[in-house]
Each structure stands twice: as structure tokens, then as C-alpha cells.
Amino acid sequence: MATPSPTRRDFLALSGTSLLGLAGCDGPASPAIIPKTTLGITGPQFTLNGKPTFLLGCSYYAALGAQDGTWKSDLDELQRLGFNWIRMWATWASFDNDISAVHPKTGKARQPYLDRLKALLTDCDARGMVVDVSLSRGNSVTGPAKLQKHEAHAEAVRTLVSELKSWKNWYLDLSNERNLTDKRFCSYDELVALAGISRSIDPGRLLTASFAGDFSADDLQAYSQQVKVDFLSPHRPRESNSPAETESRTKEWRAATLKLGKELPVMHQEPFRRGYGFSPEVKDFLIDLEGAVRAGAGGWCFHQGDARKAPDGRPRRSFDLRDGPLFSQLDDVEEQAITQMAASVKTAQGTP
């Protein structure tokens, strides 16, 4: 006989039990640090130390497996080019290299990678950069499935939010592409419970839950009123017509959430990339980015990863930084595009 699926009441009961255990407790002691970079939100825009700031980001998924010299080289170059945030995963195990900061079956701290994550946050804090810390239940591309039980996923949230509470330059993606109906799926009831755990430990921590595709009206209502995410993080379709649609989609979602009571910032967290789906050219990256800026999005990410059709996946780019710095793995199109992105943001904003 099949085991019945957990109900919403089950999830909330589990969260309630967990929250009772955390009441009056800030979790494990964090290093004595004085944050230099604080991420916030004002209206539909992100802020850095209180100043409205468009977040221009870069995928850096396998950050915890990179050598210190690789970090420095890449972050130096990203800063030089005007980037101010990176996206990494706390559950990453591609190419038989598990560098997850939390255990895939229990959600508990996993060393030395949790300490590596703290070092990354510290480095980025000093640079004025934001870090996206993403959790995923995974698929075959990111290694074996992980956090498949709600209890483990809840513990992963509890571990990260407790251990990283001292840093103010990061946000948490509760569940990457949580709407896909494979092993990545995470229900809205689960998201409500996960968000509740985070907010009980660190009420000010910004939360999102990334979504594959374009939002429906029902999804926007659930995100806004049920889960109450702090911002939207869509992963738009990867088709040749997608760049030209990003501006209108962004305006549509902003208007829809405003009607629901609170306009949510839109973070284009994982757009199309080379090596997967259609093969974008320089103009495609810039059209997509500029459309997002003109529509009032809060941020946009330069996404890249492995070459899906290559036997060994190379160049793997941000998916495997053991091969060297990200900038040493980009192709000619990506190199040209990334050098023009900060200027494109200013052009779209109408600033000199």
C-alpha cells in the first residue's frame, strides 16, 4: 500500500515542533564580525547599505570547490566589470564532486564546506557584494537527489540561517526550481513551513524560492500571499524569443503583485545560457538584461554552466571551478557580453 502524502497540517506541525525547540535561541554561535554590506529591499528595488541598487550578478555555483586563488581572481574581475552579486549553491555535487555545505540526507552542517561558505561571505562582504545561497533537491545534473525528505530540507534551512546569521550580505533561495514535477518539486505548503523556520531564527533574512518558466496568476498569488517571499526569482524559458519578452513579463509580474497588495522585486536569477537550449549571442544577453532594467527589475544574472552535449561537460564554467577560474573557461561570446553588461545597465537606466 502506498504511503499517504504529508498534508499541510503535517508540515506545519513539524515546523511548529522545530520552532519550539528554537524559541529564545539564536542557534550556534557565529563569528564576531561587523558586517560591512547589508542587503535590503525598498519597494520593488534591492538596497545595499540603504541605497537602491540594481543587482548585476553572475552564476558561481561551485564556489565552495574553488581554490582561494580562483575566488580572488574571479571576484576581482567581477568587481572590475561592475558586478555586485554571485549565485552559489549550498547543495552542489556535480561531476562526482560533492561540495555541499549541508548534508544531502540530513540537512546538517557538512565540513569543511560550511566554513568555506562563511569564508566566501566574509570575502564578498568586504567587497560590497551579495551572495545568493541556494538550496535544491537536485536532479542528475547537480549530483544525486538530495533533501528529499521535508525534515532534511527543514534542517538545511535551520543550519544555514543559524550558522550564517551574522552576515547581512546574503539571501536564501529555499528551493531551486521548486515547481518542476521531478525530484526538485517542493510544494507551497512545504515552502510555508521552510520560510517559517527561517523567520523564527532571523526575521530579517530575505527569502525567495526560484521558479522554472513564467509565472501564472495562481503562482503569483501563492508566492505573494501564501509563502510571502520577499522577491520573485523566475528562471524564464530558454528560447530564441525569450530575450525580447523579458521586459513585458517583468512589468506584468510587478503589476500583478502590486494588485495583490505588495509589489515584489523581480530578480532574473537564472536566464538562458550557452551550452544548453538555444545558443545566445552577445546581443541576446544584452537585450535580455536591458529589458529587465527598463521594466524595473531588481536584478539580473549572467548565467553560464557546462556544455551539455560534450561528453565531459567541458567547458564546465561555474559548474566546476576545479578546472580554473570562471573567466578562463568562458568562450568568446561570453567574454564579449560580460564586458558590456554594466554599461548596458547604465544605458537602460538612462544614467551616465
CATH number of the domain that 217 lies in?
A: 3.20.20.80
pLDDT at 138: 78
User: Using CA atoms, how far apart are residues 107 and 110, in angstroms rounded to an integer?
Assistant: 8
Please give the tally of structural domains in the chain: 1
All residues at 6 or more sequence positions from 303 whose CB lies less than 8 Å from its CB, including other chains: 59, 270, 271, 272, 273
5 — pLDDT class (breaks 50, 70, 90) = very low
Residue 173 CA: distances (Å) to CA of 13, 61, 85, 269, 287: 23, 13, 14, 10, 26
- Could you say which DSSP state residue 274 is in? T
Does 191 have pLDDT greater than 90? Answer: yes
Measured over the CA atoms of residue 271, residue 277, residue 278 and residue 279, the dihedral's sign is: positive
Domain presence at residue 334: yes
Domain presence at residue 34: no
Domain presence at residue 24: no
Q: Are 49 and 37 in contact (CB under 8 A)?
A: yes
Domain presence at residue 153: yes
Residue 11 CA: distances (Å) to CA of 231, 245, 333: 23, 37, 46
pLDDT at 20: 32
Please give the helix or strand (H or E) that residue 89 lies within, else none: strand 85-89
User: Using CA atoms, how far apart are residues 247 and 43, in angstroms rounded to an integer?
Assistant: 19
Q: What is the pTM of this model?
A: 0.91
* Cis peptide bond N-terminal to 112, omega within 30: yes
Domain presence at residue 33: no
18 — pLDDT class (breaks 50, 70, 90) = very low
User: Using CA atoms, how far apart are residues 70 and 224, in angstroms rounded to an integer?
Assistant: 38
Domain presence at residue 177: yes
Domain presence at residue 18: no
3-state class (DSSP) for residue 112: coil
Task: Residue 141: give the domain boundaries.
Answer: 49-349
Residue 35 CA: distances (Å) to CA of 120, 141, 274, 281: 13, 35, 36, 39
User: Using CA atoms, how far apart are residues 168 and 244, in angstroms rounded to an integer?
Assistant: 34
The per-residue pLDDT for range 80-123, each reduced to its tens digit, is 999 999 999 999 999 999 999 999 999 999 999 999 999 999 99
15 — pLDDT class (breaks 50, 70, 90) = very low
The per-residue pLDDT for range 227-254, each reduced to its tens digit, is 999 999 999 999 999 999 999 999 999 9
The per-residue pLDDT for range 29-84, each reduced to its tens digit, is 445 679 999 999 999 999 999 999 999 999 999 999 999 999 999 999 999 999 99
Domain presence at residue 345: yes
Widest CA span of the chain, in angstroms?
66
